[in-house]
């Protein structure tokens, strides 16, 4: 039994072994197919890669001030070295509702994206050709000035030509932007901003990274700086909203208290001026009443003034500080497309496809997949 089992195993190994020599000969037999397929794949890859428009990338990095780190900065920094984020848990239990990890969700909101539509951008003209700079909204730039591959432009032009044959050409009218109900064109621009404007937050260091991609280097840097400023303004307004409401209320109380004090002061001064030579007790009593009223209003005025100063200090205290780790800079080198990499991928896929076809044709594919 043992000898028979050994013989059977030897036979099975011989049957299941792969004849690499035969496979190599089969591939060499069809080498002309490689000489046809690979050049064609390279030409197609070059046409596809050269048709893709260039684009640039600009990155901005911010480090926000966290309220929770004021009291537990040392412990949080020690815990972060072990991959534990104590500041996030502390902020979740505290009054900080808009934590930095929520900033990407904020920037992905439709309200934030539509707020970028009216940002003015400038396309610099070619001075040598006498072209002038053109300024337009970011929405008009994305909808009208984006370069497309030649095949997309050709298909789009053909569709417009066909549509013009069967209908009258409608004049384009600028529609109001309503985040609650966007048009198809506006919705397409919002979806395009998903890949053009990206925000990421490092959960350990809480560093905010804003990356903007665009076909124009200057507009790329302009929008990166604009998005950074708008994010800072939104966070500042959120963090100081309650303090600013309290400040407005204290300003109103201050104006009312000052008006009452000024009125009491004028009444007392007028009464004293008109009754200097009168020694009646009723006059003295009235003077004392007016003096007490003036002093009472003055004390109230002083108290409200102190509250106003405290409210102003509170707004300043709640205003978050941002440290810019990396500012927006006009990129000088394009970020893509990586045409050489595209060509290599096309050639690799063509090589694999051709090899698989030859192995299937020569019935060698069964050996590779383990079929007998």
pLDDT value of residue 98: 65
- CB-based contact 87:79 (threshold 8 Å): no
First to last CA, the chain: 26
What are the E-state strand segments in the chain? 56-64, 120-123, 134-137, 197-201, 208-214, 322-326
Least confident stretch, 50-54, 95-99, 187-191: 95-99
Give φ, ψ of 67 to 5 degrees.
Answer: -65, -30
CA distance 58 to 333: 11
Instruction: Look at residue 124 and tell me whether its pLDDT is greater than 80.
Output: yes
Instruction: Reduce the secondary structure of 139-152 to three states and give it as a string.
Output: HHHHHHCCCCCHHH
| Model pTM above 0.85 | no
CA distance 59 to 140: 23
For the segment 20-58, what is each residue's pLDDT rounded down to a tens digit?
Answer: 777 788 788 888 999 999 999 999 999 988 888 999 999
CA distance 186 to 174: 11
CA distances to 55, 95, 118, 127 from 215, in Å? 4, 41, 19, 19
* Residue written as token pair 């192995």: 359
Q: Residue 94's pLDDT band (boundaries 50, 70, 90)?
A: very low
Q: Which two tokens mark 305?
A: 């003034």
Vertex 98: Cα angle to 94 and 99 (nearest 5): 75
Vertex 295: Cα angle to 289 and 297 (nearest 5): 105
pLDDT value of residue 351: 93
183 three-state secondary structure: coil
For the segment 229-254, what is each residue's pLDDT rounded down to a tens digit?
Answer: 998 888 888 888 889 999 999 999 99
């Amino acid at each position: 039994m043992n000898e028979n089992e050994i013989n059977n195993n030897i036979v099975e190994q011989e049957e299941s072994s792969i004849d690499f020599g035969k496979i190599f000969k089969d591939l060499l037999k069809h080498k002309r197919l490689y000489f046809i397929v690979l050049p064609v794949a390279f030409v197609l890859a070059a046409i596809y890669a050269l048709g893709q428009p260039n684009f640039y990338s600009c990155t901005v990095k911010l480090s926000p001030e966290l309220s929770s780190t004021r009291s537990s900065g040392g412990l949080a920094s020690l815990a972060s070295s072990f991959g534990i984020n104590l500041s996030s848990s502390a902020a979740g239990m505290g009054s900080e509702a808009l934590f930095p990890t929520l900033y990407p969700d904020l920037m992905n909101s439709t309200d934030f994206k539509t707020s970028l539509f009216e940002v003015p951008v400038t396309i610099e003209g070619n001075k040598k050709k006498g072209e002038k700079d053109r300024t337009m909204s970011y929405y008009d730039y994305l909808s009208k000035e984006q370069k497309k591959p030649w095949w997309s432009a050709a298909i789009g032009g053909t569709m417009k030509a066909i549509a013009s044959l069967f209908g009258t050409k409608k004049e384009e009218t600028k529609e109001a932007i309503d985040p609650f109900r966007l048009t198809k064109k506006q919705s397409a621009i919002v979806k395009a901003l998903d890949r053009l404007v990206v925000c990421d937050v490092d959960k350990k260091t809480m560093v905010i990274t804003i990356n903007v991609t665009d076909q124009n280097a200057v507009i790329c840097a302009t929008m990166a700086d604009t998005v950074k400023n708008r994010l800072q303004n939104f966070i500042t307004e959120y963090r100081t909203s309650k303090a600013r409401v309290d400040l407005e209320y204290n300003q109103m109380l201050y104006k009312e208290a000052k008006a009452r004090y000024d009125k009491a002061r004028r009444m007392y001064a007028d009464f004293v001026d008109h009754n200097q030579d009168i020694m009646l007790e009723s006059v003295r009593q009235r003077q004392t009443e007016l003096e007490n009223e003036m002093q009472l209003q003055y004390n109230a005025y002083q108290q409200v003034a102190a509250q106003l100063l405290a409210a102003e200090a509170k707004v300043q205290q709640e205003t978050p500080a941002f440290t810019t780790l990396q500012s927006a800079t006009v990129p000088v080198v394009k970020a893509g497309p990586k045409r050489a990499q595209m060509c290599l991928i096309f050639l690799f896929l063509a090589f694999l496809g051709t090899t698989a076809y030859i192995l299937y044709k020569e019935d060698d594919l069964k050996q590779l997949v383990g079929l007998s």
